[in-house]
A and B are shown apart, each in its own frame.
Chain A
Amino acid sequence: MAQPATPQTIDPQSAADPVLSARPENRVWKKFRSHKSAMLGGFLVGFFILMALMAPILPIPDPVATDWGAVRKAPSAAHPFGTDEIGRDVLSRLVWGARASLMAGVVSVGIALLAGVPLGILAGYFGGWTDSVISRCTEALLAAPFLILAIALAAFLGPSLGNAMIAIGLSATPIFIRLTRGQVISVKAEDYVEGAHATGLPTHRILTRYIFPNILPPVLVQATLTIATAIIAEASLSFLGLGQQPPAPSWGSMLNTAKNFLSQAPWMALWPGIAIFLVVLGFNLLGDGLRDALDPREH
């Protein structure tokens, strides 16, 4: 084959397509914006977060103030969502309860990420006996159902919202260990990681600059979806009396008391139920949308 006579100059300027010249983050955002259900999820989540943040300044009664003159009243102008068995405003408890639920979801997933991602990276990157020890422990934890494990841990730690978060976080950790480990193993085999070795980068740099950013997208998606699971778990623990302690409001504990009055005061159960449903739906839609937006195959 004759070498085509080519000049010693270069690929002229930018071959970059103007449409593609956006940073990866921008393209993800653009794609996310066009995803209708993801936007709905984002809206729901945003709504509840806003509600939780604004609880102190909203014109609602004190969530723990009792009123013996208004016990188990049906929704009315004074109490739009009704009152509970000791005359507390259900709307107010719902708004304040969002704080417990969202906190529980975010903090427990935060705990799971902090514990799971580093362990997963260790197991996936170094392999060998490190991997064997971490993976066997992970599998042992995964053998127990998520909620049962959370209940057992919460019971062991003692009933409080903080302990419930720790229990839920630890129960969710194995999911993140396993996900991270798998991602690290696949990213580790990429040419650019071998390139990092060839460049002579120290291990900590390879981990922080090459492995971590490239495993992040699926971990973020999983985190969003796990927040939904964690919110349900917190509600379950509170329902069982292992989470938020009375009189502080939480959706789970509101359901717990409401179950005794289902026929007389169904609104006591209805509102927290709807709230849990909507926030969980929101996080799930958000997670699905993120997964689609971050999917590199469709870039």
Chain B
Amino acid sequence: MSDVILRATGLRKHFRTGGGMFARQSTVRAVDGVTLDVRRGETFAIVGESGCGKSTLARLLMRLLEPTDGRIDFDGRDISDLKGRDLRDLRREMQFIFQDPFSSLNPRMSVGRLVAEPLETHHPQMGREERREEVARLLGIVGLRPEHADRYPHEFSGGQRQRIGIARALASRPRLVIGDEPVSALDVSVQAQVVNLLHDLKAEFDMTLVIIAHDLAVIRHMSDRVAVMYLGQIVETGTTDDIFAHPRHPYTMALLSAIPEPVHGRARTRLALSGETPSPANPPSGCRFHTRCPFAREDCAQRVPELRPAGPGGQHAACHYWEEIAAERPDAGTPPAHERKPQAAARFALYEAAIDRLNDRPETAVNAGANDMTQQEEDRR
């Protein structure tokens, strides 16, 4: 299939921990048999709670970690065993955006050097002057100014640093960018800016995006397809619309029901999960979710569910009983994003116009407005 740009097959990563003189060694199955296809040009989201192995998966796909087992194909080529020069060349095609913009930039390099570095590495034929212009262009694309090139990362805000990280990732003109929770460390207002930036850049640069997230709201806004992870495995996958409209796996339902809805007076039954996430060092037998699943049947603890078709649009879920559960809970999905009332739409238009006027003002001014909004949303919960 030529429309698949990245394919993982039976990917596993097990970490050994402990194993001192007196401690028993245990194996953490961070990623345990993940198979997925990412199609050319789409935005593919991987969601799950902390500790489900999604960051490990992202690093496996990037070949930043060695898989314990399984295979990764990029553009029809097996990249699982690439080493040295070949692996470095692969980095030109595949880039990574880190979660924490405060720790992911070398504090001792100026922004200009940070962004120029991938160019030096992957396009060594480029002259000094040409490179300088390219850096200025990249900074412009991500919404920074060319004179920022002489500054150091600590002089920028979180959102700006993430833009620097994005400029650096874009420099080598990758075809695939993997973002490990690229906005979760940022303020809400800045999150939206960065999400929109990524969205625009994807179209402009003709890239494929893989976004790791724990925030479903971010996902819904920007992704085409979603994979939901639980304890190192994918439990459900499908188009974003399908997953949000009719989740099939109880875990996905629980995640969706945890999204606060900014709709006044709308009552919705929440599907609350009890208990802690089990340790990936000692995952439950059978279906890994059975210990917390409100719909668990007796044999869920014995039989391991496989991903199987769960809808017409290519939706798959790893649950033995999704048909029965779906019949029981027809309202599990979330409605499509609601229309704004005319008054509200007018007010948003005013707000946007005001923001446009603020373009040259410091970011804090924009933040202050957005924080008010967040506060209002919280009040409504």
A residues near B, CB below 8 A?
Answer: 1-17, 20-21, 23-24, 190-192, 194-202, 205, 209-210, 213-214, 299
Contacts and interface: CB of A to CB of B under 8 A. Distances in A.
Contacts of B152: 23-24
Interface string B347-379: 010011001101111111010001001100100
Contact of B95 (A14, A24, A198, A299): A198
22 contacts: A3-B192, A4-B188, A8-B200, A10-B144, A11-B363, A12-B362, A12-B363, A13-B145, A13-B362, A14-B156, A15-B156, A16-B151, A16-B156, A195-B104, A198-B62, A198-B91, A200-B87, A200-B89, A200-B92, A201-B88, A213-B106, A214-B107
A191 B98 contact: yes
B129 interface: no
Given A11-B190, A200-B172, A205-B121, 12 more contacts: A4-B189, A4-B374, A10-B144, A11-B193, A14-B155, A15-B363, A194-B59, A195-B165, A198-B64, A199-B121, A209-B106, A209-B117
B309 interface: no
A191 B103 contact: yes
B249 interface: no
A199 B122 CA distance: 9
Contact of B370 (A4, A16, A190): A4
B98 A195 contact: yes
B148 A14 contact: yes
B260 interface: yes
- Lowest 7 CB-CB distances: which A-B pairs, in order? A200-B91, A10-B143, A198-B96, A191-B104, A16-B155, A15-B157, A200-B88
Nearest to B262: A2
B108 interface: yes
Given A5-B352, A10-B144, A21-B155, A192 B103 contact: yes
A2 B377 contact: yes
A11 B154 CA distance: 15
Interface residues of B, number: 71
A15 B160 contact: yes
A197 B95 CA distance: 10
Given A11-B159, A192-B103, A202 B121 contact: yes
Contacts of A1: 188, 217, 259-260, 262, 377
Chain A contact residues, majority secondary structure: loop
Interface in B106-120: 106-109, 117-118
B108 A11 contact: no
A201 to B, nearest CB: 6
Nearest to B113: A209
Contacts of B154: 20, 24, 299
Select the residue from A13, A199, A202 with max chain B CB neighbours within 10 A: A199
B359 to A, nearest CB: 5
B245 interface: no
B168 interface: yes
B288 interface: no
B193 A10 contact: yes
Contacts of B88: 200-202
B62 A10 contact: no
A12 to B, nearest CB: 5
Contacts of B143: 9-11
A16 B189 CA distance: 19
B336 to A, nearest CB: 13
B92 A6 contact: no
Contacts of A21: 151, 155
Nearest to A213: B108
Contact of B106 (A6, A196, A198, A200): A196
A192 B106 contact: yes
Nearest to B117: A199
Interface in B82-140: 87-92, 95-96, 98, 100, 103-109, 117-118, 121-122
